[in-house]
Structure 1
């Protein structure tokens, strides 16, 4: 079992879904903080069916669409995973931060543009999280709201970092 396995199992706890519907659920929720190739959402359900953790029903006629639902064994596997300790260090993979690290090799105007782009990107994502909040509050999903809260705090903190850096560049150009 890998992280994608648990993503599929977790998403199926919200109800049966096709691979396309799983992709849509992920895009509007955990896709904000858990990046992976969405093509895995087309392969992983079949693996979970073979393992007995997911059931599959196939539409008769038409495109023979496959709809997946979680089994009792799938719920148990998800619960066992949720109970496991989570001690690994958080991984940050930020291309903007990587470019800044090598900034001595860049032109000053490229560094300024990097800072501006990253500031605007993080501000836009945080603003988007603000808009999502009402939708999640309406569903009264406390745990999704907590993940959104951390995402919002993260984005506002990083937004502030890039804004401060832009101000620093204005005061003390490279």
Structure 2
């Protein structure tokens, strides 16, 4: 493999990093990876609760390499895949981010919630269908988290287990909301 040079931005300054930057740094802290490997790791872990375009996992490692936060090795021959590794400076940046204040408001980007907000313009039967669909969706996701939790609880990373526990609680809470709303709508419609 050919080692690509580490190149920092002028004056040693780094561009402002975004959430995807920290996802890549965090995933590379678990070990070297190609962009495809990163996509797989994210898909099985934080992709369950942090949605973003997977194309970012192909672009961001190269930018982090330009910033000197990761290194890239290119495979000789074959597909010439790039394997990325976090640098000591990248690890420092990740640790600084982990201790920085987290004051941003939590975003709930739930299409069902958005549709509920505008339900004044929907037919009552459509609203009941929406509620049933969202209930089923949140139940399935909560069940999936519970299954993942059972697989890693005894041998997984403690903080990943805690993340799954919060995910389970969140999904069960939202599932309960939709169940109550279904009952309310059915009572109104005389079902």
Normalising to structure 1: TM-score of the pair?
0.97
Q: How does 1:43-82 map to 2 (within 5 A)?
A: 43-82=59-98
The question of 1:95 aligning with 2:111 is answered: yes
* Per-residue CA distance 1:41-94 (angstroms, 9 max, x = gap): 000000111111101111110000111011101100000110101011101111
Q: How many Å apart are 1:104 and its aligned residue?
A: 1.4
Q: How does 1:8-157 map to 2 (within 5 A)?
A: 8-157=24-173
Pick the structure with more helix per residue.
1
* Per-residue CA distance 1:2-23 (angstroms, 9 max, x = gap): 1111000000011100000100
Q: When the two structures are aligned, how many residues end up with a matched partner?
A: 174
1-side partners of 2:154 and 2:71: how far apart? 30
Whichever of the two has the greater Rg, that structure is 2
Tell me: CA distance 1:90–1:135, structure 2 relative to 1, closer, same or farther (3 Å): same
Aligned to 1:168: 184
SS in 2 for 1:139: coil
Q: How many Å apart are 1:140 and its aligned residue?
A: 3.2
**Runs of 4+ with >6 A deviation:** none
RMSD: 1.1
Normalising to structure 2: TM-score of the pair?
0.89
Q: How many Å apart are 1:137 and its aligned residue?
A: 1.6
